[in-house]
Amino acid sequence: MEIAEQTMIKDLFASKRRSEVKIPSEKQLATWNIGILVDYVKTKLSPTVTLSLEQLQLKTILLLCMSTMWRPRSDIGRLQYRDIIFKKDDTGGTSSVRIHSRNPKEGPVKSTILGELSDEDMCTNSTSVKPTTVANWVKTAMAEAGIDTKDYQAHSIRAASSTKAVELGHSIQEERITFDVGVEETKIGLGTTTNTQVDETTTENVIHPNPWYKRIFG
């Protein structure tokens, strides 16, 4: 048996870990202001009609990360074409879109519903990117917005969005629902200021958290 596998050795190191008191750093106790990234989107990635395909991809990713609080790499970065489902209205226009994350770390499939889209033209490009690429895009945008990415990685966007929601008066339980943490239902319904039909198309399993993100992006 290797020395590292011996019970006494394991107990020794386990006891040492329990006895050590690690004081968290200032950066670990705080997060950055999500408003910085919102302003970046409004100034550098707007108006939408003037954006290139690459810029449009980045804007979509940033808005999804901020509004859904999903993980940039393991959730947003692994989305597939088949997981993006558009719903049409009576006139043939797009009224909402449902997005599924097939393998979230929380467990079962989780979903989000977004409201009406203002741009109807769809790109036929089917080339996918790696999950790490999506996370790097988010990190690059954060750096360009002025956020110190040495201390805050792309994953920190979830904490920043959640913190802002709490600052706006929403409860921790509401944030747990949005995060899909510790709740049985895993489908999340998110609306937008232009959304008038999503509630008519959702299923009984869809949770509708308070739309705090309207105030963030307003």
Where are the domains positioned within the chain? 30-119+131-217
Structure confidence at residue 125 (pLDDT): 44
Structure confidence at residue 131 (pLDDT): 82
Question: Could you tell me which residues come within 8 angstroms of residue 142 by beta carbon, excluding any fewer than 6 positions away?
Answer: 37, 149, 152, 154, 157
| Residue-level pLDDT, tens digit, the chain, 218 residues | 677 778 888 888 888 877 777 777 777 777 888 999 999 999 999 988 899 999 999 999 998 888 888 888 888 888 888 888 988 888 887 778 888 888 887 777 888 887 764 544 434 444 567 888 888 989 999 999 999 898 888 888 888 888 888 788 776 666 555 555 443 333 333 333 333 333 333 333 333 334 444 454 55
DSSP codes of every residue in 149-203:
TTT--GGGHHHHHHHHHHHTT--HHHHHHHHT-S-S--EEE---TT-SSHHHH--
| Inter-residue contact 78 to 103 (CB < 8 Å) | yes
Based on the number of CB atoms within 10 Å of its own CB, is 195 exposed (0-12), middle (13-18) or buried (19 or more)? middle
Structure confidence at residue 118 (pLDDT): 52
In degrees, rounded to 5, the angle at the alpha carbon of residue 121 between the alpha carbons of residues 117 and 125 is: 115
Structure confidence at residue 195 (pLDDT): 34
Please tell me the distance from the alpha carbon of residue 105 to that of residue 95, in angstroms, as a whole number.
29
Question: Could you tell me which residues come within 8 angstroms of residue 113 by beta carbon, excluding any fewer than 6 positions away?
Answer: 96, 97, 98, 99, 188, 189, 190, 191, 198, 201, 202, 206
CA distances from 170 to 164, 175, 179, 186, 189 (A): 9, 8, 13, 19, 16
Structure confidence at residue 143 (pLDDT): 93
Structure confidence at residue 206 (pLDDT): 38
In degrees, rounded to 5, the angle at the alpha carbon of residue 96 between the alpha carbons of residues 93 and 101 is: 135
Please tell me the distance from the alpha carbon of residue 77 to that of residue 56, in angstroms, as a whole number.
15
Token readout for 160 is 């920043």
- What is the 8-class DSSP label of residue 50? G
Structure confidence at residue 142 (pLDDT): 92
The CATH code for residues 30-119+131-217 is 1.10.443
Token readout for 196 is 């008038």
What pTM value is reported for the model? 0.55
Token readout for 120 is 């109807």
| Inter-residue contact 106 to 181 (CB < 8 Å) | yes
